[in-house]
Amino acid sequence: IIDGEPRLDLPYVEDVKAEVDMNVVMLGSGSFIEVQGTAEGAPYSRTELDALLALAEKGIAEIIEVQRALLQTPPARRG
Protein backbone atom coordinates (compact mmCIF):
# COMPACT_ATOMS: atom_id res chain seq x y z
CA ILE A 1 0.00 0.00 0.00
CA ILE A 2 1.38 3.38 -1.02
CA ASP A 3 -0.58 6.53 -0.21
CA GLY A 4 -3.56 4.34 0.72
CA GLU A 5 -3.58 2.49 -2.63
CA PRO A 6 -2.87 -1.25 -2.91
CA ARG A 7 0.00 -1.82 -5.36
CA LEU A 8 1.62 -4.91 -6.85
CA ASP A 9 5.27 -5.80 -7.56
CA LEU A 10 6.90 -2.53 -6.61
CA PRO A 11 10.32 -1.36 -7.75
CA TYR A 12 12.76 -0.66 -4.92
CA VAL A 13 12.23 3.12 -4.90
CA GLU A 14 8.50 2.61 -4.23
CA ASP A 15 8.90 -0.46 -2.02
CA VAL A 16 10.87 1.49 0.58
CA LYS A 17 7.93 3.94 0.88
CA ALA A 18 5.27 1.24 1.25
CA GLU A 19 2.92 1.48 4.20
CA VAL A 20 2.37 -2.30 4.09
CA ASP A 21 4.85 -4.88 2.84
CA MET A 22 3.18 -8.15 1.83
CA ASN A 23 4.48 -11.39 0.35
CA VAL A 24 2.04 -13.94 -1.06
CA VAL A 25 2.92 -17.34 -2.54
CA MET A 26 0.23 -19.51 -4.14
CA LEU A 27 -0.17 -22.71 -6.10
CA GLY A 28 -1.85 -22.84 -9.50
CA SER A 29 -4.84 -24.40 -7.74
CA GLY A 30 -5.36 -21.18 -5.79
CA SER A 31 -4.15 -22.57 -2.46
CA PHE A 32 -1.90 -20.36 -0.37
CA ILE A 33 1.62 -21.41 0.56
CA GLU A 34 2.63 -18.20 2.28
CA VAL A 35 0.99 -14.95 3.33
CA GLN A 36 3.15 -12.45 5.17
CA GLY A 37 2.08 -8.87 5.70
CA THR A 38 3.87 -6.25 7.77
CA ALA A 39 2.58 -2.79 8.63
CA GLU A 40 5.53 -0.47 8.07
CA GLY A 41 4.05 2.64 9.67
CA ALA A 42 0.49 2.17 10.86
CA PRO A 43 -1.79 -0.86 11.16
CA TYR A 44 -3.86 -1.87 8.15
CA SER A 45 -7.50 -2.91 8.13
CA ARG A 46 -9.16 -6.19 7.19
CA THR A 47 -10.58 -4.41 4.15
CA GLU A 48 -7.06 -3.42 3.06
CA LEU A 49 -5.81 -6.97 3.71
CA ASP A 50 -8.60 -8.39 1.55
CA ALA A 51 -7.75 -5.89 -1.22
CA LEU A 52 -4.07 -6.85 -1.09
CA LEU A 53 -4.88 -10.56 -1.23
CA ALA A 54 -7.21 -10.03 -4.19
CA LEU A 55 -4.49 -8.05 -6.00
CA ALA A 56 -1.92 -10.76 -5.24
CA GLU A 57 -4.26 -13.49 -6.50
CA LYS A 58 -4.80 -11.57 -9.76
CA GLY A 59 -1.07 -11.01 -10.27
CA ILE A 60 -0.17 -14.62 -9.48
CA ALA A 61 -2.90 -15.88 -11.84
CA GLU A 62 -1.37 -13.76 -14.63
CA ILE A 63 2.09 -15.20 -13.94
CA ILE A 64 0.75 -18.76 -13.92
CA GLU A 65 -1.05 -18.14 -17.22
CA VAL A 66 2.21 -16.98 -18.84
CA GLN A 67 4.11 -19.95 -17.38
CA ARG A 68 1.56 -22.43 -18.70
CA ALA A 69 1.64 -20.86 -22.16
CA LEU A 70 5.43 -21.01 -22.23
CA LEU A 71 5.44 -24.64 -21.13
CA GLN A 72 3.15 -25.50 -24.05
CA THR A 73 5.52 -23.87 -26.54
CA PRO A 74 8.06 -26.34 -27.94
CA PRO A 75 11.67 -25.31 -27.37
CA ALA A 76 13.59 -23.86 -30.29
CA ARG A 77 15.65 -26.35 -32.25
CA ARG A 78 19.38 -26.20 -31.75
CA GLY A 79 21.98 -26.65 -34.39
The pTM of the full predicted model, rounded to 2 decimals, is 0.84
Task: Indicate if the pLDDT at residue 75 is higher than 80.
Answer: yes
The pLDDT assigned to 24 comes to 98
Question: Is the four-CA dihedral 41, 46, 48, 50 of positive or negative sign?
Answer: positive
**10 Å Cβ neighbour count for 10?**
13
The contacts of residue 42 (CB under 8 Å, 6+ apart) are 19
The band of 60, judged by pLDDT with boundaries at 50, 70 and 90, is very high
Task: Indicate if the pLDDT at residue 57 is higher than 90.
Answer: yes
Q: What is d(CA 79, CA 10) in angstroms, rounded to the nearest whole number?
A: 40
- 64 versus 76: the higher-pLDDT residue is 64
